[in-house]
Structure 1
Amino acid sequence: MSDLAVTSDLGYVEDAFAWARKRALEWVQTDAAAGNLPSYWAGYPSRPMFYSRDVCHQATGAHLLGLDAENLAMIRHFARSSTSGRKWYPLWAFHFDGSIAGLDYHGDEHFVREIPAVFDLTYRALEQYDWTGDRRWIDDPDLAAYYLRSVEDFVAAHDSDGDGIPEAPGTGDLFDGAATYNEQDPETPLIIAGDGLALHYAALRALGKERGKDRGVGKAQRERFLERSERIQAEFQGNWWDESLGRFARGLSRNGLEFSWGLESHWIVPMTGLSGHGVQNERFLDYLEQELELRPPANIEAFSYLPEVFFRHGRDESAWRWLRHLIDSRDDYPEISFTVVQHLVAGLLGLVPDAASAYLSIDSHLPADIGLLSADHVRIGEWDLRITQVARQSTEITVHSGPGPLTVAVGSAGVRTLEPGRTARVTSQTKDPS
């Protein structure tokens, strides 16, 4: 367990963090019963299980709380469940002892499966490598094999038209396989969904990432993965956009592109960067903001992605609006407490780590409500940090301890290299609030 602590001039933030930290740690199941994997609850509170989608989304909050062993054990367990007999889909859910959750599994040809989860596991696992620098995320044979299978064998097994994009059957039955995380999508079942495409793109980008080159793939493979990601993005931005509507399609059905409100199949697109930047993306974000006010999702856990979406694109007041919604709910769905920890620390402070390269990027996303935010004992690999931001004017970084120098890029103020035991204060480094 970590010693992560948050202080702020806004008592609301401190209270929210205290609640989220306590509640998230109460979901840990590692020592709750004999035979349990290192694990935490990730799914409905009424179901003693961990689900792939939930683990993927809870992993950053879990890391910040010191649950790296749990992240590794659970994601590796999903990786091991991807077999040729299951056409390279990972299973959807397990009990804490590692046994298959029968509720979602009736056999190798009839189990709940959603295309986005296949790529989400690769994307979020490699993100944990960025946070921890732990080479097991790269060297573990089950994980290394899974990363490549997710973007190679899985795609080949489900790509009926040879365009490099896997398709779902389009039946609307989760036990046949769904294209999207949006399970409230009864109108017209999709065969390709925006969120599946976005997470495919994100997995390829993670495997092809230049910084921290040693990700278990060679240079030629990295270049090929990046080329594929660029092709997916170009196809999406060029052909999935409707200029008159000012938005991207939520997905492709057997009837063609579908432009109705798609919830996850819409907002995971900008969360991963698939929609890029510029005028199209800004109009699309305007559409998302409008629809979220008019037709918000029915389930609280769906909201837990929204701060990440809007922080990424500098819409910090919108991110804060939805983060407050999560905080005020005090909902007992585990995803809420874990992601509140993530958004309060990594989101508001704008942390993007690359521990394997001894590198951290920081860019304040503090809204007008927060004049000061400090997070102490933030772990980036083996470095233990305190990061304090004062509005948009300054950031102070203290390296309590670490294996050597840490390079820190702060907003537009440039790069600092900090030795353990040193503190740096950077002023006037961030954009003005928009």
Structure 2
Amino acid sequence: MNFQSSLIHRLLAAAVMLCIFINLPAFAQDVKFTSSDKKIEQAFAWAKDMALHYKGHPADPAGPWYESALPPRDAFCMRDVSHQSIGGEILGLKRENNNMLTLFARNISASKNWCSYWEMNKAGKPAPEDYRNDREFWYNLPANFDVLNASWRMYLWTGNKYYINDPIFTNFQEKTVKDYINAWVLSSDSLLNRPAHPNAPVPFNESDPFHRCRGLPSYSEGVPNLKTGADLVAALYRGLSTYSAILASKGKLAEAKAYALKAEKYRHRLEADWWDTKDNLYFTYYGKDGKFGRDEGETFLLWFDALKDTTRIKQTLSHLASKTWNVENTSYLPLIFYNNNSWDKARDYLLYLSDKNTERREYPEVSFGVIEGIVQGMMGITPNARSQSITTIYKTTGNGDAGISNLPLLGTMINVVHQGTQQSSLNNIGKLQIMWKAMFYGTYKQAYANGRPVPVKHVTDNWGKHISFAEVTVKPNQHIKISVK
């Protein structure tokens, strides 16, 4: 799963598209998306077909899985799965998500200094492209925190407490936030003076990537002599914040508070040490030579929601938008830009990623990223298992319609339709009751549910935008339409 572009990628792309048009898989149905914005509707249709093409055979020794690595490997990688999991859930790939995340959590071990397997294949083995033995393997250190956060997001989306309560996951959580951080010298006050290779094999062979990259402190793989990456700092912040949220959900409030404070120390270091006052951008890596530099990495500062200063967020978004990145990085951008008040640019990325002329658009993350960008980003659909609730908010600069049907979440299934920016409807076609928070940009004085007045409330988001909302309970087989005036 190295970020490279080559002839083989283009040949694979052609082969994949040929397979799709000749033999569209029978399971590519269920969830459906329609929109008055036909280009976005077409992007969803393409992404759905492409993503479902990558579904593995459930009888493979690994169990249910989908491609989430470089396609020739028949494999799934920790970073890719963490990113693709929500898109997979939207498309009904819940068994695959459950299995792959479980395999990553289960294979954490002391012999690997509390790493898991960076990449596994359909045979249920560590991919040989990244693993020789427990002393010699490739591993990117943000991965544990990414998987930890992904398992929490799976719980929030599905309501399945397995992701936070099963012993496999609780062991993974505890080892990651304690032993893993200690083993790799990742305390908040050691990030700039930690050794570059704290657990390297002995004797150490600098030219062997399984020695040199056994604990690569970043997802950016093209920078030599890294000591720390800014994305690792952001991942640490998100991982500890996530663990704090997991503890809080279990009523362990004192421990939750302690881990929230630990997480905040990483965010403080990110702002204090990594902001370049000259260029008004974040540095993205710190080298063994004691110097900061800039390469890939900004994407993950936003993906892990580690930035709170809106001025710095705007600068970071502007810099990201000013360059063309590899498709792996770009596949994160639709949701990131939708979540950060840049909707037109988010739409541009959706169309760019799904465009037939975009190089390597068949890389698996791309299609899954487009699906999530449309559903969580543009449609603004966010479930929360802690309260068995869902929020919706339409992020568009136009006034068109958009709808999604047969969307699985929180143990039920729903249809959501946005009719312009002042009316949304939700049809609960599943078996469990949910609380719906229907949100609309703007300040409105009245809200109606199926024509009856309901209380309307108001908030302001981080960008200063006014939001009006109404909350209603939606029972199984109930359809409610909410409008504001």
Residues paired across the two proteins, number: 416
Distance 2:395 2:229 in 1: 30
Counterpart residue type for residue 480 of structure 2: A
Matches within 5 A, 1:382-401: 382-401=411-430
Q: Does 1:279 align with 2:311?
A: yes
Write the mapping of 1:99-110 to structure 2, written as runs, cut at 5 A.
99-110=125-136
1:116 shift after superposition:
1.2
What is the distance in 1 between the residues matched to 2:187 and 2:469?
47
Q: CA deviation at 1:249?
A: 1.4
How far 1:259 sits from its partner (Å)? 3.8
Separation in 1 of the partners of 2:300 and 2:73? 26
Equivalent residue of 1:308, what SS? helix
2:164 to 134, 138, 147: 138
**Structure 1 match to 2:396:** 366
Work out the CA distance in 1 between the residues paired with 2:333 and 2:435: 30
Distance 1:351 1:405, change over 3 A: closer
Q: 2:474 — aligned with what?
A: 419
Q: Distance in 1 between matches of 2:346 and 2:105?
A: 32
Cα distance in 2, alignment partners of residues 161 and 302 from structure 1: 27
Q: Partner letter of residue 107 of structure 1?
A: N
Letter in 2 for 1:283: Q
What's the offset of the Cα at 1:112?
0.8
Given that 1:399 and 1:418 are in contact with CA atoms closer than 8 Å, whether structure 2 keeps it comes out as: no
Aligned pair partner of 2:233 in 190, 197, 204: 197
Question: Cα distance, 1:56 vs. partner?
Answer: 0.9
Q: Secondary structure of the residue that 2:126 maps to in structure 1?
A: coil
How far apart in 1 are the matches of 2:63 and 2:94?
13
1:267 to 299, 305, 324: 299
**Which of the numbers 327, 337, 351 marks the counterpart of 1:300?**
327
- The separation in 2 between residues aligned to 1:307 and 1:12, in whole angstroms, is 15
Q: Distance in 1 between matches of 2:269 and 2:484?
A: 39
Asked if the contact 2:299/2:329 (under 8 Å) is kept, the reply is: no
* Corresponding residue of 2:266: 232
Deviation string, structure 1 residues 40-79 (Cα, Å, up to 9, x no partner):
1111111111111111111011000111111111111111
Match of 1:112 in 2: 138
Structure holding more strand per residue: 2
Per the TM alignment, residue 360 of structure 1 is displaced from its structure 2 partner at its CA by 1.6
After superposition, residues 344-383 of structure 1 pair within 5 angstroms as 344-368=374-398, 371-383=400-412
Which deviates more from structure 2 when the two are superposed, residues 232-241 or residues 169-178?
A: 169-178
Amino acid at match of 2:299: W
Q: Is 2:249 aligned against 1:214?
A: yes
Cα distance, 1:405–1:361 mapped onto 2, change above 3 Å: closer
- Conserved 8 A contact 2:40-2:351: no
- The corresponding residue for 1:241 is 275
Query: After the TM superposition, which of the residue ranges 62-71 and 387-396 deviates more from structure 2?
Result: 387-396
Q: What pairs with 1:27-46 in structure 2 (closer than 5 Å)?
A: 27-31=54-58, 33-46=59-72
Q: 2:105 maps to what in 1? A: 79
Aligned equivalents of 1:379, 1:196: Cα separation in 2: 32
Structure 1 residue 11: Cα displacement? 2.2
Separation of aligned partners in 2, 1:402 and 1:160:
45
Partner in structure 2 of residue 178 of structure 1: 216
Letter in 1 for 2:430: S
**1:45–1:332 contact (8 Å) kept in structure 2:** no
Once the two structures are TM-superposed, the CA of residue 367 in structure 1 deviates from its matched residue by: 4.4
Letter in 1 for 2:47: A
* Alignment CA distance shift 1:384-1:168 (3 Å): farther
- Which of 177, 182, 200 in structure 2 is aligned with 1:151? 177
Change (3 A) 1:278 1:162: closer
Distance of 2:312 and 2:291 partners within structure 1? 17
Question: Contact between 2:151 and 2:164, CA under 8 Å: does it hold in 1?
Answer: no
Letter in 2 for 1:214: S
Counterparts of 1:160 and 1:64 in 2: how far apart (Å)? 34
User: What residue number does 2:89 align with?
Assistant: 63
Match of residue 10 from structure 2: none
Distance in 1 separating the partners of 2:55 and 2:42: 21
Cα shift readout 1:71-112 (whole Å, capped 9, x = no counterpart): 111111111111011001111111113122112101111101
Identity %: 24
Larger deviation, residues 271-280 vs 90-99: 271-280
CA distance in 2, matches of 1:333, 1:160: 32
In structure 1, the partner of 2:200 is none
Give the Å deviation of 1:34.
4.7
Q: Which of 90, 103, 121 in structure 2 is aligned with 1:95?
A: 121
SS of the equivalent of 2:116 reads coil
Which range is displaced more, 229-238 or 249-258? Answer: 249-258
Distance change in 2, residues 1:162/1:123 (3 Å):
closer
Residues 281 and 36 (structure 1), Cα distance of their counterparts in 2 relative to 1, 3 Å cut: closer
**Cα distance per residue 1:190-209 (max 9 Å; x no partner):** 22211111122112222222
Q: 1:43 to 1:161 in 2, by over 3 A?
A: closer
**Larger gyration radius, structure 1 or structure 2:** 2
Are the counterparts in 1 of residues 82 and 150 from structure 2 also a CA contact under 8 Å? yes
1:6 deviation in Å?
A: 0.2
What residue identity is the alignment partner of 1:397? Answer: L
- Shift of residue 164 of structure 1? 6.5
**Cα offset, 1:165, TM superposition:** 5.0
Q: Is the 2:438–2:482 contact (alpha carbons within 8 Å) kept by the matching residues of 1? A: no
Q: How far is the alpha carbon of 1:168 from its aligned partner?
A: 6.8
